[in-house]
Amino acid sequence: MKRTIIITIALIFTISLNSTAQNEKNFRIGCIGFYNLENLFDTLDTEDVRDTEFTPLGDKKWNSAKYYEKLDNMANVISQIGTDLTPDGVAILGISEIENRTVVEDLVKQEKLKGRKYEIVHYDSPDKRGVDVGLIFQPKYFKLKNSASYTLKIEGMDDFYTRDQLLVSGEFDGEMIHVIVNHWPSRRGGEKRSRPLRNAAADLTKSICDSILNLDKNAKIIIMGDLNDDPNNESVKLHLKTVSEKEEVKEGVFYNTMEGLFKKGVGSLAYRDAWNLFDQIIISPGLVKDENNGYIFHKSFVFNKKFLMQAEGQYKGYPLRTYVGSTYKGGYSDHFPTYIFIVKEIK
């Protein structure tokens, strides 16, 4: 009983959906997000992994002091995501560019996070740099049921290795949801040349979604991650089949919660004086409209507080990174986190 009371207090708030106080409604609110942690490596030189630069003897002179400063910085950011509407902040957070499970364990033990008792879902990926995706969640909101890791294979490219795609299924406040965490292949070699790799990654994500929807056409699926493409690129629009307007959502077509922000010029990372919004959160029709009055999408955000930005110089306003080249900056990440709120009206 005590557990139920805690959930209710933390999740219930009043949101004014209309202009008059008489029309205010009460909702349960959940925050779900994604954050590319940019090279969260330990200091060890792992065999068969290209992580030498992130060791004390490597080019970056990566050591324990820098590692723990990085952990504290990441924890500081994560602790603030979503707290404008729910005091416990982000209930479920997909993460990428993590070297192994140990660095995530160290992260959730940081002072600013340990009170939330985050639990971890992680699988090792075949990526040659040794970076993976993962997910952390607060168990008082999300009850883990199943998880699986899917490897992207490219026909004719037997030596191609990238991050696996992580599927996590469970009950959020009693409702089943499925979260797919991604870090699609980079644009190395140029956007056009590398485009087929991301298209293939999108096809894999869509296949995972289709398998879920074949069992339940109203399944609530959240696709998140660093897609290394913008909301208007063909991997997202054509292969994953996304739209920018809720009214256009239908069976087999997903709603990109970030595309509206992208059209307004909001980005999650900057490159050559232009903003990209690679860090996307995309939802299935079941989270756009629920005839059973369950959880639905409310609003999306890029967490781009000023303390995460470079304060001066040529790159003023860009994300403040841990390194620029081999120069240590002691910052956060080259990506801003993204997050959404989902809500359920209390009748």
| pLDDT of 9 | 39
Contacts of 304 (CB under 8 A, 6+ apart): 266, 268, 336
3 state SS of 210: helix
3 state SS of 289: coil
CA atoms of 308 and 329, how far apart (whole Å): 12
What is the C-alpha end-to-end distance of the chain, expressed in Å? 21
Beta-strand ranges (E) seen in 262-311 are 269-271, 274-276, 279-283, 296-302
| pLDDT of 8 | 41
| pLDDT of 11 | 56
Specify the amino acid at residue 94: G
CA atoms of 89 and 198, how far apart (whole Å): 31
Q: Which residues of the chain have pLDDT under 70?
A: 1-23
CA 8 from centroid of its chain's CA atoms: 25
Q: Which domains does the chain have, with CATH numbers?
A: 2-345 (3.60.10.10)
Q: What is the mean pLDDT of the chain?
A: 92
CA 12 from centroid of its chain's CA atoms: 24
**Per residue in 8-51, pLDDT tens?**
434 545 454 444 455 677 889 999 999 999 999 999 998 888 89
- What is each CA distance from 124 to 100, 128, 131, 181, in whole angstroms? 7, 11, 8, 13
Using the Cα atoms of residue 159, residue 163, residue 165 and residue 171 in order, give the sign of their dihedral. positive
Query: What phi and psi, each to the nearest 5 degrees, are found at residue 9?
Result: -65, -40
* DSSP character at residue 163: P
The pTM of the full predicted model, rounded to 2 decimals, is: 0.94
Rounded to the nearest 10 degrees, the angle between the axes of helix 64-80 and helix 101-108 is 60
Please state the three-class secondary structure of 56-85 as a single string: CCCCCCCCHHHHHHHHHHHHHHHHHCCCCC
